[in-house]
Amino acid sequence: MPDAVEQVVGRAYEHGWVSDIQSDSLPPGLSEDTVRFISAKKDEPDWLLQWRLEALRKWQAMEPPDWAHLKWGPIDYQSIIYYSAPKSTSEGPKSLEEVDPELLRTYEKLGIPLHERAALAGVAVDAVFDSVSVATTFRETLAKAGVIFCPLSEAVREHPGLVRKYLGSVVPVTDNYFAALNSAVFSDGSFCFIPKGVRCPMELSTYFRINAKNTGQFERTLIIAEDKAYVSYLEGCTAPQRDENQLHAAVVELVALEDAEIKYSTVQNWYPGDENGRGGIFNFVTKRGICKGDRSRISWTQVETGSAITWKYPSVILKGDDSVGEFYSVAVTAKRQQADTGTKMIHIGKNTRSTIISKGIAAERGQQSYRGLVRVLKGADNARNYTQCDSLLMGDTCGAHTFPYIEVRNRTAKVEHEATTSKVADEQIFYCQQRGMSEEDAVNLIVNGFCKEVFRQLPMEFAVEAQKLLAVTLEGAVG
């Protein structure tokens, strides 16, 4: 079996190439001038500039969080480039024909169907490259249905009322250190608005990629589903292989009004660093949705296989009565990856329900933590939560940890939390082998079984991709 371990150590990161694209970048450093530059570059209204500056001032007075089960050295925020745009698109592409062909090839390498004729029909893609949204497909089809799907910077210009109403309404500027930083310097992201009664006719999708060196990526996504609206949104991430760490501090805000439903799925495969812990993305992300209206529903599904450090807690505020929050997660840490991830379910409305299914897998020297908060406030009569949190260990140099926080202030609430930790048993592998499967197939089979409840939540194409990623990340990691 040790051969198998060596195999994975030698494994190369599949998306680790760098694209040769001219970037239009700021010099490294963060000050009021940086924020003014970004805001001016985007031609933003004054209220947004002031909002950013306020965030910067708040951020400067804040301390980075230290409660997570993660170890990382100090981040030098002055050595990061806060704005990097592919040069040819700095004016913003008007159509696909205007997009830098090199960029399109980059996306081809990533397997993203940017062209409308591309294979994955039915998926509208907004691609964020470094910090700038470069192309959005299927816009006309969506526009016909009344759905707005565009870069956030464009939404600021075209739909200022909506942006101003909802931006920061779910994740306030001062929510946490990284959210404050994002609020100050975010450069672009996706904006999505599903009007009343509309069922979005296709899956919406954003692919993120960090390409330029020393660049931080600070995208911001805002999704609003009005009464009885429905949308399913997919997000995929990759980054090139570099020796230094790169910072990714994103913010995602979801707003679901009465009877609305938002499904948000992520497959995160940022560069994880090498086997010695050199390089890799620092992924500090704030994702939160609010079930504002009665009977609304927000569902987060994430498959986290990348990043050197993942700090991420996609959350739901269950404000509307009878609203539902869900969190399905598979997180894998191999090499020297560390993940501290989970969710928060805040029950405010009556008869609110939440489900948390978390599957953590640790291999090699990976450290894996589930951290989840279930809070039932006083008025949340008949709130229900069920949490199942399982960890799988592969090898004796990794760690798997569980840190749930359960806070209940209503006696009619019912909260159940269960957690288990186990390893892939030798007996299970032997049993599969005795039926003719190779050791690697056996491990894949068992691990996929372990993750089944989560994969089931993903749209079909994504589920296949997620299984593939999982197999690659864990290739030979069983010793």
Partner 1 sequence: MLEIKNLHASIKGKAILKGLDLVVPAGEVHAIMGPNGSGKSTLSKVLAGDEAYEVTEGQALYKGKDLLTMSPDERAREGVFLAFQYPVEIPGVTNAYFLRTALNAVRRHRGEPELDAFTFLQRVKEAMKLLEMDAEFRNRFVNVGFSGGEKKRNEILQLTLLNPSLAILDEMDSGLDVDALRIASRGVNALRDADHAFLVITHYQRLLDYIVPDHVHILVDGRIVQSGDRSLALDVERAGYVDHQASA
Partner 2 sequence: MRVDTWLDERPVLLDERAAVRAAAADKSRARPLPVPRSEHWKYTSTRAIGALGLEIGATAATLTVGAAPQGVTIVRWSEASPAQRAAAGPWFGRLATFDGPEAFVALNTALHDDVVLILVEAGADVADAVRIVHVAGGEDTPRVVFPRVLVLAEAGAKATVIAEWRSARGAPFVTAPVTELVVGDGASLEYVSVVATPASDFHLATVASTVAPGATLQATMLAFGEGLARCDTIVTLAGAGASVRLEGVGAAGASGHIDHHTTIDHAAPDCTSREVFRNIAGDHGTVVFNGRVVVREQAQRSDSDQQNRSLLLSDDATINSKPELEIYADDVKCAHGSAIGALDPEQVWYLRSRGIPDALARQMLVRGFGADVAARVAHPGARALATDALEAWLDQLIAGGAA
> What is the spatial distance between Cα 253 and Cα 290, in angstroms, rounded to a whole number?
8
Q: Which of 117, 396, 434, 460 binds partner 2 (CB under 8 A)?
A: 396
For residue 456, state whether it binds partner 2 (rule: CB under 8 A): no
Q: Is 117 exposed, middle or buried (0-12, 13-18, 19+ CB in 10 A)?
A: exposed
Answer for which of 87, 165, 409, 468 binds partner 2 (CB under 8 A) is 409
3-state SS of 256-310?
Answer: ECCCCEEEEEEEEECCCCCCCCCCEEEEEEEEEEEECCCCCEEEEEEEECCCCEE
* Site for partner 1 contains 431 (CB under 8 A): yes
Angle at CA 208, nearest 5°, toward 176 and 326? 60
Question: Which residue in this structure is represented by tokens 């190439």?
Answer: 17
DSSP state of 99: S
Query: For 143-169, b where at least 16 C-beta lie within 10 A, e where not — what string?
Result: eeeebbbbbbbbbbeeeeebbeebbbe
Among 14, 428, 459, 472, binds partner 1 (CB under 8 A): 428
Q: What tokens does 478 get? A: 């069983």
87 near partner 1 (CB under 8 A)? no
52 or 347, CB closer to partner 2? 347
Distance CA 416, CA 270 (A): 33
47 binds, among partner 2, partner 1, none (CB under 5 to 8 A by kind): none
Instruction: Work out whether 117 is an interface residue with partner 1 (CB under 8 A).
Output: no
Whole-number minimum distance, CB 115 to partner 2, in Å? 46
Residue from the set 420, 430, 431, 456 that interacts with partner 2 by CB under 8 A: 420
Residues near partner 2 (CB under 8 A), total: 35
253 or 390: CB nearest partner 1: 390
DSSP letter for 243, please: S
Binding-site member from 154, 275, 381, 441 for partner 1 (CB under 8 A): 441
* 287-304: burial string, b at 16+ Cβ within 10 Å, e else: bbbbbbbbbbbbbbbbbb
Closest alpha carbon to 82 in 43, 36, 47, 50: 36
Q: How far apart are CA 376 and CA 413, in angstroms?
A: 7
Q: Check residue 108 for interaction with partner 2 (CB under 8 A).
A: no
Token reading at 342 = 């989970």
Q: Are strands 84-86 and 23-25 parallel, antiparallel or unpaired?
A: antiparallel
- With respect to partner 1, which residue has the nearer C-beta, 32 or 426? 426
- Residues in 46-85 that interact with partner 2 by CB under 8 A: 67, 69
Shortest separation between residue 367's beta carbon and partner 2, angstroms: 9
Q: Which is nearer to partner 1, 64 or 449 (CB)?
A: 449
Does the footprint of partner 2 cover residue 413 (CB under 8 A)?
yes
Stretch that binds partner 1, among 204-212, 242-250, 363-371, 435-443 (CB under 8 A): 435-443
Rounded to a whole number of angstroms, the minimum distance from the CB of residue 476 to partner 1 is 15
76 CB contacts (<8 Å, ≥6 apart)?
none
Listed residue (159, 216, 176) closest to 68, CA to CA: 176
CB proximity list for 436: less than 8 A, separation 6 or greater: none
Q: Which is nearer to partner 1, 310 or 358 (CB)?
A: 358
Of 311 and 328, nearer to partner 1 (C-beta) is 328
Note whether 398 binds partner 2 by CB under 8 A: yes
- Does residue 437 touch partner 1 according to CB under 8 A? yes
- Partner that binds at residue 57, options partner 2, partner 1, none, CB closer than 5 to 8 Å by kind: none
Region from 8-16, 58-66, 422-430, 457-465 binding partner 1, contact rule CB under 8 A: 422-430
* Interacting partner of 441 out of partner 2, partner 1, none (Cβ under 5 to 8 A depending on kind): partner 1
Smallest gap from Cβ 447 to partner 2, in A, equals 14
Instruction: Round to whole Å and give the CA distance between 404 and 321.
Output: 25
Does 1 bind partner 2 (CB under 8 A)? Our answer is: no
Chosen residue from 49, 96, 408, 471 binding partner 2 by CB under 8 A:
408
- Residues 304-343 binding partner 1 (CB under 8 A) are none
Binding site for partner 1 (CB under 8 A): 425-428, 430-439, 441-442, 445-446, 448-453
Task: Give the interface with partner 2 as residue ranges (CB under 8 A).
Answer: 67, 69, 378, 391, 393-423
